Structure 1
Amino acid sequence: MSSSLVSRAEGASSVSPLSSPSSASPSPSAKSRGSATTPSTPITPMAPLSPELLSLDKTKQQQQQQQQQTPTSLASRIPTVDGKKRLPQNIAHRGFRAKFPENSVEAFRGALASGAVALETDVHLSKDKVVVLSHDPTLKRCFGRPDKIADCDWSLLETLRTTKDPHVPMARLTDLLSFLSEPGREHVWVLLDIKRDDDAEELVTRMAETILATPGDWSRRIVLGCWQANYMRHAQDKLPGFPIAYIGFSLAYAYELLKYDCVGYFNLLQGILVGPRGRRFIREAHAKGRGILVWTVNSEEWMDWSIHNGVEGVITDDPPKFADVRKRWERDEKDGEDGDEDGAVPASELTPLRRTAGKAPPTAHPPNTKTLSGFFLRRWAKLYAIVGLLRMLEQVFTNVMRVRNGWESKVVRAALDRP
C-alpha cells in the first residue's frame, strides 16, 4: 500500500469515536520547541492540590487509560439506560431486495424509504480491480450471464442490467458512498460483507483506496464484515480505526473471536442463537461490550425473538415488516418512554446500533399453550425444525473446518496474534 494511503488511513483512525482528549496533547519535543519561541515570563508557583483533587485527577487519568485500551469499535457506543431493553435497528439485507434488484442503488433508496436505518451489502472485485456490489461471484442469478465477476472488466459490467425490474445497472462501492453522502443520509451506516472469493489482501486494499478517496468520516459509518480472521487482520492494517464484525454461523469460531478486542460486532445466522447456548453467547458478548446482529430474519416470530433477546440489529429482506413489528413493540411499551410520541430516537442521533428505548413486552417464546392453535403449533414446529437443521449443519461445518484448518483457536491466533 502506498505511503499516502497509509497516512490517510491513520487520519481516519484519529477521528475515532473513542479518541481520547489526551491523545491530542502535544509531544514533549513539540512543547520544548514551543517554549524556545515564547517570551520568558515569571511563573507563579501553583498551590499544592488537596487530597480530594488529587484523587479526582487520578480517577480521570484511569478513565482516560481505560478509554485508550478500549477497542476502537462502535459496539462500545451501544447505549444502555437503566437496564431497559431497546429495539434492534432495522438493517436492510442487500437493500430492499424483496421489491428491488438486490445491492442496487434503487434497493438502498427503497430500503431507507421503508423504515431501514442501515444497509447491508456485499463486495467483490472485478478483473480490473474495481470494488463492485454483488452477493454472488457470478453474474448468473442477477444479470443472466454465466461469467464470473472476477473475469470481467468494469467496462463490461457497467453495461449490464439486472434481469429483475426495473433493470438497473450493477453498483460499485463508490456509487454506494456517493449515495450515502447525499444530504439527509448523513446518519445512515452500512455493513460491508467482504466476500471470500477474491484475494483477501487485494480486496481489502482496493476497498481502502475507494473509501479513503471519498470525503467523509467513514470510520463512523462503515462496519467491515469478515467471515475469517485473516480478513480481519487485513482490515486492521488497511483501514485502522474502522469497526470489524465477524459474519458467520459457527458459535465455536465466534467464541474464539470473542477473546479479541478488534471484533466489535458478531453478525450471526439467527437460528444458531436459539436455545441456551446461543443466549449464553449473547450475554457474554454484551458483557464485553460487543454488539449482536442477526441474519436473515424475515418471519415475524423471529423478529419478535430478536427483540426479546436484546440483539442490536436485525438484518432483513423486508424492512417494512420489521418496521411494523418495532412499532407494535413501541405501542405496547409506550408508557414511560422518552423521546417523541412514537418512542423513536431523533434522526440526528442515529448512529450505528443506536436503538430506540423500550422494555421488552412479556412475550413468551415460543408462545405458551394458551395462545397455541393447530395452525400455530404447525407454524412453530416448522420454525424450530429449521432451527434444528441449522444447528446440525453448524456442527458438520465446524467439524469439517477443524479437519481442514485445525481448531478455531489455532486459526484465529495465527491470523490475529501480533508478533
Structure 2
Amino acid sequence: METERDIEQHRFSAKPKAAADGTRKLVPLSVGHRGYSAKYAENTLSALQAAIEDGADAIETDVHMSSDGFVVISHDPSTKRVFGSNGGPIKKRPYIGDLDKLLTVRPPNEKMPLLREVLELFVSNANFDDKWLVIDVKADNEVDIIEGIAMAMKEIKDDFIFWNSRIVLGIWMVKFLPYCEKYLPQTPMMHIGANIWYARKFLEAPTLVGFSILLASLYSTDGYALIRESRAAGKAIYVWTVNPDEAMRMCLALQVDAVLTDNPVRFDELRKEYLKREADGKDQETEIDPESAVEKVLTLGTKTRLYAFGLLVRTISPILRIMYE
C-alpha cells in the first residue's frame, strides 16, 4: 500500500510513458523558472500565472525576507537589477512603505509580490488546481525565513495536507534543515545546487523528494552517478536553468523528472515533438544510460562549454559554502 510520502514523491516526479519500442520512458515535467520569465518580468504574478496558463506543470519562485518580516518574491538579495532601486539589500528594507512601492523595470511594470499572494493563486485560481510550486530558499537568507514560509502557508490556508501536495521547499544549504524539520516537518523538500558532493549531504533528509541540479554540473561523471543513485533511491532529478533547444533535448534524452526553464511554452513544444517521434517509432533510444543519451544530442561546442562551466562551478562552490553556511 502506498504511503502519503510515496504519493507526494510521485506527485513531483515524471510519469513513465509507453514508447513505440515497448519500453517506458520518463518525459520531464515543465517548471516555469521564475514563471514565464522569457515573456514577462521575472517572479511577477503575471509571469507565474502565465506559466501555468500556457502549459507548465509547476512554477518555481524565489524568496527573501524583508526587515519587517514579510516573505517576498525576489531572486536577487537586492532590488537593483529587477526594480532599478539602489536602496540596499532586501533584508534591511521594510516591505510596507518601501518595497511595496517598487515596480519592475521591465514592462508591464509590476510590483514585488509577497509569498502569500502567490500561495493565494493555489487556493483561488482554478488553473492552479492540479499544479504545484517550488519555493527556492536562497542561500543568503537567514534561517528564520522557514518559519516565515510556514506562517504564510497557514495564513492563506491552515491545512498542511493541502500544501504538502502543492509545495516543494527548494533548499540550498544544510543550515536550513533543522528549521524545515521544526516548522514544516511534513513538507516535501528538494536540494537545489550545483555541487554534486554537497548534494549527497541531503540524501538522508526524511522529506527529500529529489535534487534540482545545475545543467553543467550534471554533465560530469559525478552528475551521471547522482542520476543513477537518485533513480535507485526513488528520488527525482530536476535540471536548471534549461533554455536553449539543445539543452532541452539533452534533458529529454536523459529522462530527468523535470526541467526548470524561462520558456515553458518552447519546452512544451519540444516535449510534444519528442512524444510524437516516439509514437511514430522514429526514435529507438531505449537506453537510459546518461552518457549514451547525452552523446546523441549535444554538439562538440556545447559539450565543451558545459565542461568548462562545470569546472568553474566546482572550483568556486567551496567558497560559496563557506560564505553561506
2:78 to 115, 138, 155: 138
Post-superposition offset of 1:80: 4.7
SS of the equivalent of 1:184 reads helix
Shift of 1:207: 0.8
Pick from 139, 142, 158 the counterpart of residue 196 of structure 1: 139
The residue aligned with 1:347 is none
Instruction: List gaps (5 residues or longer) in structure 2.
Output: none
1:264 aligned to which of 197, 209, 212: 209
Q: Aligned pair 1:75/2:4, yes or no?
A: no
Distance 2:39 2:66 in 1: 26
Residue in structure 1 matching 2:3, options 7, 18, 29:
18
2:239 aligns to what SS in structure 1?
Answer: strand
Q: How far is the alpha carbon of 1:72 from its aligned partner?
A: 7.0
RMSD: 2.6
Corresponding residue SS for 1:96: coil
Displacement, 1:198? 2.7
Q: Tell me the distance in 2 between the aligned counterparts of 1:80 and 1:327.
A: 15
Q: Does 1:110 align with 2:55?
A: no
Superposition deviation, residue 365 in structure 1: 3.5
The residue aligned with 1:160 is 102
SS in 2 for 1:85: strand
Alpha-carbon offset, residue 76 of structure 1? 4.8
Q: Does 1:396 align with 2:325?
A: no
Equivalent-residue separation in structure 1 for 2:212 and 2:312 (angstroms): 18
Of 246, 252, 270 in structure 1, the residue corresponding to residue 197 of structure 2 is 252
CA distance in 1 between counterparts of 2:218 and 2:150 reads 32
Partner of residue 24, structure 1: none
- Render the CA deviation track for 1:263-301: whole Å, top value 9, x for unaligned: 221000011111443222101111101000000000111
State how far apart, in whole Å, the 2-side matches of 1:289 and 1:278 are: 16
Q: Encode CA deviations 1:210-235: one digit per residue, 9 max, x unaligned.
A: 11222251111000001011212211
Local SS of the residue matching 1:333: helix
Q: Is the 2:219–2:307 contact (alpha carbons within 8 Å) kept by the matching residues of 1?
A: no
2:248 is matched with which residue?
303
User: What SS does structure 1 have at the residue aligned with 2:39?
Assistant: coil
Runs of 4+ in 1 over 6 A off after TM superposition: none
> What's the CA shift for 1:320?
1.1
Aligned to 1:312: 257
2:28 partner letter:
P
Evaluate the alpha carbon distance shift between residue 187 and residue 153 of structure 1 in structure 2; reply closer, same or farther with a 3 A threshold.
same
Alignment of 1:40-55 (within 5 A): none
Residue of structure 2 in register with 1:124 after alignment? 64
Q: Contact 1:125/1:150 (CA < 8 Å) preserved in 2?
A: yes
Question: 1:18: Cα distance to partner?
Answer: 3.0
Residue 94 in 1 paired to residue 34 in 2? yes
Measured after TM superposition, the shift of residue 360 of structure 1 is: 5.4
- Indicate the residue corresponding to 1:325 in structure 2: 270
Larger of the two Rg values belongs to structure? 1
Q: Contact conserved, 1:333 with 1:359, CA < 8 A, in 2?
A: yes
Structure 2 residue aligned with 1:242: 187
TM-score, structure 1 normalization: 0.68
Letter of the 2:99 partner, please give it: L
Q: What is the CA–CA distance in structure 1 between the aligned matches of 2:126 and 2:293, rounded to whole Å?
A: 42
In the alignment, which residue of structure 2 is the partner of 1:27? none
TM-score, with length taken from structure 2: 0.86
Matched letter for residue 391 of structure 1 = G
Cα distance in 2, alignment partners of residues 166 and 151 from structure 1: 27
Cα distance in 1, alignment partners of residues 7 and 140 from structure 2: 26
Partner amino acid for 1:177?
L
Mapped to 1, the partners of 2:285 and 2:109 lie a distance apart of: 42
**Match of residue 380 from structure 1:** 299
- Cα-to-partner distance string for 1:374-415 (whole Å, 9 max, x where unaligned): xxxxx933322221222212331355468x49xxxxx9xxxx
For residues 158 and 399 of structure 1, the distance between their equivalents in structure 2, rounded to whole angstroms, comes to: 35
- The answer to whether the aligner puts 1:150 opposite 2:127 as a matched pair is no
1:186 pairs, out of 129, 144, 161, with: 129
Cα distance in 2 for residues equivalent to 1:360 and 1:209: 47
Structure 1: runs of 5+ lacking an equivalent: 1-16, 20-70, 337-357, 369-378, 406-410, 412-419
Q: Which amino acid aligns with 2:32?
A: A
Whether the 8 Å CA contact 2:40–2:107 is kept in 1: the answer is yes
Cα separation, 1, equivalents of 2:120 and 2:107: 23
Is residue 99 of structure 2 the alignment partner of residue 176 of structure 1?
Answer: no
Matched to 2:116, the amino acid is T
* 2: CA distance, partners of 1:366 / 1:163: 41
Q: 1:80 to 1:233 in 2, by over 3 A?
A: farther
Distance apart, 1:102 and its partner CA: 0.5
Q: Which residue of 2 aligns with 1:214?
A: 156
User: 1:225/1:387 Cα in 2 relative to 1: closer, same or farther (>3 Å)?
Assistant: same
| Preserved CA contact (<8 Å) 2:187 2:207 | no
